[in-house]
Structure 1
Amino acid sequence: MQYNDYRALGTTTFSNGLLAYYPQLKIDDAEMIVIIQLEMFAQKGNFFPTDEQLAANTNLSVSEITALVQKLIEQNFLSIDQISDKSGKIGNKYNLDQLYNQLDLLLEDKIKSGNKKAGNNSSTSSVDNSPLTQLVRQFEIEFGRYLSPIEREEIAFWLNVDHHDPVLIKMALREAVLAQAYSLKYVDRVLLNWQRHNLKTSSEVQKFLRRNH
């Protein structure tokens, strides 16, 4: 199989936040495989794959897939919604919204606890004033729209996993706006480029930008 054959299989967009924190949600590796498969099928337009289809892409048996799906439902990570098409035909679809809602709560708790450790002298340690919330507001202002839960998780990932300075994230956002590229992928590429050049402070970034603009 050639490289272009692999490209023809397509790609799946997935939350870095979920990949980083799924163990803290008490999701085990086998359950995570099922979640990844559900996301893959959904992004291809199949919102209710069979257990046989899910098992075909894994080392799990059909019975194991059935048990894992049921466990995810019992843990309130997954639900089955009833839908109807344009002709009125009733069907089902898997819904992972509850999973991402719980991930949002986990990330907000982490930001809140981080603020308490860093600022015991502060009279307010509200999540509304957290670096994550401030950045989300800034992005929404610049983009002119609300961010999705997955986009919020990406910003949280920059802060908590990549450990990017919030100031540098704002500077990268400004670069995206100047380039009229209103996407987190562009901002991520800017941050990665600065990281490759070992730029860790705003003054270092400013010098780098002056040299390259």
Structure 2
Amino acid sequence: MDKKKIAEWLAQGSVAVPKLLLNHYKYLGLSEGEFVLLLHMHSFIEDGVLFPTPAELAEKMTAAPSECMEMLRRLLQKGFIVIEEHTDEKGIRSEKYSLQPLWEKLVQYLYTEWAKEERQDQQEEEESLYTMFEQEFGRPLSPFECETLSMWIDQDGHSPQIIKAALREAVLSGKLNFRYIDRILFEWKKNGIRTIEQAQHYGKKFRKHQQSARSTKTAPSEYKQTIPFFNWLES
């Protein structure tokens, strides 16, 4: 085999097909024929042919020129491609296809799917939060307690993870009630506690001070002056 010919074949390069498009084109509403036609358009554009004709596209496909023309019409109608005016270096104006709308639709679809997953994860997290509270309290939550949980999330902006951490702090302190947990959340928010790691560090630091204060029998008034606003774990 002629090595020169092989080199010429390899020199033609390759067309990179985004895996995201390959995996999701059917969810965008593209048929297999439209998908392949778009790939050939992408290849033509990369080779400098900015406005391939239906006949040129048909030469690369099993579809007839009339079928390619119909697919182009649908793609334009559905907003997957647009025709733009192009001016070359010599100032000659011509038309060209742009696949920018296709990429924008793909990004929008992926973002929408991501948002759905986020909402679903949030819903599952909130459901597990209610379950965790009922397990710790050993009973179903009252309507008022359920409303309080919702307010912590919706109005106060606490994440389910932080609320769970506050519940664990209440369990460790032996003060399992909603008023006490609300005080913990209030102190955390006031002190900028936003993550589980910060909450754990804050709780450990306080308990260390609390144990030290009890061992030295520090007076309540003196203790409050030493560690202000840490009364969310006080009896």
Which TM-score tier does this pair reach, normalised by the shorter chain? 0.5 to 0.7
Query: What is the deviation of 1:4?
Result: 4.1
- Residue in 2 aligned with 1:103? 106
1:80 match: secondary structure = strand
Quote the Cα distance in structure 2 between the aligned partners of 1:86 and 1:111.
42
Deviation string, structure 1 residues 14-40 (Cα, Å, up to 9, x no partner):
211111101001100010111000001
Give me the whole-angstrom Cα distance separating, in 2, the residues matched to 1:84 and 1:35: 23
Deviation, 1:50, is 1.7
Alpha-carbon distance, 1:106 to partner: 0.4
CA distance in 2, matches of 1:4, 1:28: 35
Residue of structure 2 aligned with 1:87, choices 87, 90, 101: 90
SS at match of 1:119: helix
**Partner SS, residue 83 of structure 1:** strand
Q: Which runs of 5+ in 1 are unaligned?
A: 125-213
**CA offset at residue 8 of structure 1?**
2.8
Find out whether 1:117 has 2:120 as its counterpart: yes
Q: What is the CA–CA distance in structure 2 between the aligned matches of 1:89 and 1:59, rounded to whole Å? A: 34
Q: Residues 28-47 of structure 1: matches in 2 within 5 Å? A: 28-47=31-50
Taking the aligned partners of 1:87 and 1:43, their CA distance within structure 2 comes to 20
- Map of 1:58 onto structure 2: 61
Query: Which of 1 and 2 has greater Rg?
Result: 2
- Percent identity over paired residues: 23
Say which structure, 1 or 2, has more relative contact order (CA 8 Å, 6+ apart): 1
- In structure 2, C-alpha distance between the alignment counterparts of 1:16 and 1:58, rounded to whole Å: 21
Q: Partners of 2:83 and 2:90 in 1: how far apart?
A: 21
CA–CA separation in structure 1 for the residues paired with 2:35 and 2:47: 19
- Which residue identity is paired with 1:101? E
* Structure 2 unmatched runs, 5+: 127-152, 155-235
> What is the aligned counterpart of 1:11 among 11, 14, 17?
14
| TM-score for the superposition, normalised by structure 1 | 0.54
The residue type equivalent to 1:98 in the other structure is P
Q: TM-score, normalised by structure 2?
A: 0.49
In the TM superposition, residue 85 of structure 1 has moved relative to its aligned partner by 1.4
**Per-residue displacement from partner, 1:80-139 (whole Å, max 9, x unpaired)?**
101111222110100111111111110001111111222223658xxxxxxxxxxxxxxx
Amino acid aligned to 1:116:
R
1:3, CA displacement in angstroms?
5.3
* Cα distance between partner residues in 2 of 1:8 and 1:52: 25
